[in-house]
Amino acid sequence: MDKSFEWRKAPRAHFAVLGDPISHSLSPVIHQAAYSALGLEYKYVAVRVPPEEFGEAVQHLSDLGYQGVNVTVPLKSLAARWSKNPDKFVARVGAANTINLLDNSATNTDAAGFMDTLPAVGVWSPAPVLLLGAGGAARALLAALIDGGHRVKVYNRTPENAKQMVADLGVKVEVIKEPNPEGVALVVNATSASLDDESVPVQWHRADRKTIAYDISYGKELSPFLLNAGLGGLKVVDGLEMLVAQAARSLEWWLGMVAPLDAMRRAAG
Ligand code: ATR
C-alpha cells in the first residue's frame, strides 16, 4: 500500500492510521480485509499528519465523520496527551495507538498485541527478556512484559532515558550498560533504529542458541538488527504479526466485534 493522504485532503472515511511518514503502512489493507470478511462497508485510509498539526488534524477528521484512528510514529505520546479519556494503561505509559473520535477515549493495542504474539514465537511462560529502547514503544512493552510476569533487563543507547523510563513506570528493572543478551530467552528491539536502517550493537556472540530476536518494526527486508541476529544463528521475528494483532485489537475495541484474524493476516502478506 503506497497510497496516503495529506490530512487536509483526506477523503470521507470511517477509520484511518495517522503518522509521519505513513505511505508505507499496511494498516489500510489489513483493516479493509477485515471489513470485507465481516461484510462491513467501512473505509480505512492512511493519512499523513505532522506532529505539530496533530490536534488540528484530528479535529478535522472528526468533523469529516471519522469514528476512530490508529496513530503511529511519531504521534503516540501526543495521542495519549490529547485524549480526554485515556484508559489506565495509556495513562500509565503515556503512549496511545488507538483513539475513538466519538468520545475522545484512547487505548494502547500495541503492547497487548505484542503480548498476543509471544506464544507463537515460542515464549509461552514468563521468561528472561532483554528490552532495547526507552521511547514510547519501549515504555508500553516494558509495562506489558512486567505485567505478564517476565523478568526484564533494559538497554538503551542513552542510559539516562532508560533510567527515567523505569522510574516513571515505578518498576524494578535493571538498566544494563552493554547490550549483552547472555541468559535471556528473548531480545526485543523497541528502538526506532530499524526505521533509519540502523542496527543496535547487541553482543550476539554471547546469546544462547535458543534466544529469539524480535524486532517490533516490519518491512520488506529484514532489519539490520534481525540480520545480525540471524547471522549469529538465532531465530528472528519481525513486527508483522504484532501489527496484525494490534489491528485486530483496535477493530474489536472500536466495533465490539470479533476480528477476522486469518483474513487480516492474509492481507498483511
Ligand atoms: P518510539 O515512539 O518509536 O518509541 P521514540 O520515543 O522517539 O520513538 O524513542 C526512540 C527510541 O529508539 C529511543 O530509545 C532511542 O534511544 P535514545 O533514548 O538514546 O535516543 C532509540 N534509538 C533511536 N535511534 C537509535 C539508533 N540508531 N540506535 C539505537 N537506539 C536508537
60 touches ligand 1 (CB under 6 Å): no
Interval between CA 35 and ligand 1 midpoint (Å): 34
48 touches ligand 1 (CB under 6 Å): no
Tens of pLDDT, residues 189-213:
999 999 899 999 999 999 999 999 9
Q: Measured between alpha carbons, how far is 217 from 240 in angstroms, rounded to an integer?
A: 7
Tens of pLDDT, residues 72-124:
999 999 999 999 999 999 999 999 999 999 999 999 999 999 999 999 999 99
Q: Is there a cis peptide before residue 224, judged by omega within 30 degrees of 0? A: no
Q: Measured between alpha carbons, how far is 13 from 23 in angstroms, rounded to an integer?
A: 17
Residue of 73, 131, 157 best suited for mutating to test ligand 1, as the one with most atoms within 8 Å of CB: 157
* pTM, two decimal places: 0.95
